Amino acid sequence: MLTASLVRSYKSPKGNTVFVYSVNGNTESLTEFETAQGANHRVDDTTGKPLFFTTRCFGDNGTLIITSNGKVVPDMSEFDKANSLAKQYGGNLGDQLARIASERLLGVQSTPTPTPVAARIPDESGF
């Protein structure tokens, strides 16, 4: 399995935003990645880790897939599922599903997590 972590982004000469990801995996996966990238294979000069370049951001962290055609693409299945659910239900529910899924996928949380409250044990007076 190949995982990717966002390192930086930059504007290409054509004005497109390019996202640069550092790639991690076991030796076999990294060899497959290098083969699939071919002449486009790049390595970070400082860390020595392979790099993946894309114009489609897939969050701060994600998974890469090597397709049957030998192309490296981000695994967008979780994004696609979230999009499908939001469209399927639409309206307020769809909006909330999309918001929550986006937060989860991007690793942010704007909705506070409830803090458990300790149960109050009544004293002898019943309070």
pLDDT tens per residue, range 41-83: 999 999 999 999 999 999 899 999 999 999 999 998 888 888 8
The whole-number pLDDT of residue 46 equals 94
Greater model confidence, 126 or 80: 80
pLDDT at 120 over 90: no
Phi then psi for 112, rounded to 5 degrees?
A: -65, 145
DSSP sequence for 62-103: EEEEE-TTS-EEE--HHHHHHHHHHHHH-HHHHHHHHHHHHH
Distance between CA atoms of 25 and 3, rounded to whole angstroms?
A: 6
Greater model confidence, 82 or 20: 20
The answer to pTM > 0.85 is no
Distance between CA atoms of 102 and 112, rounded to whole angstroms?
A: 15
Distance between CA atoms of 3 and 24, rounded to whole angstroms?
A: 5
The whole-number pLDDT of residue 107 equals 73
Domain ranges of the chain: 2-75, 77-109
Residue pair 35/7 in contact (Cβ under 8 Å)? The answer is no
Region 10-29: mean pLDDT is 97
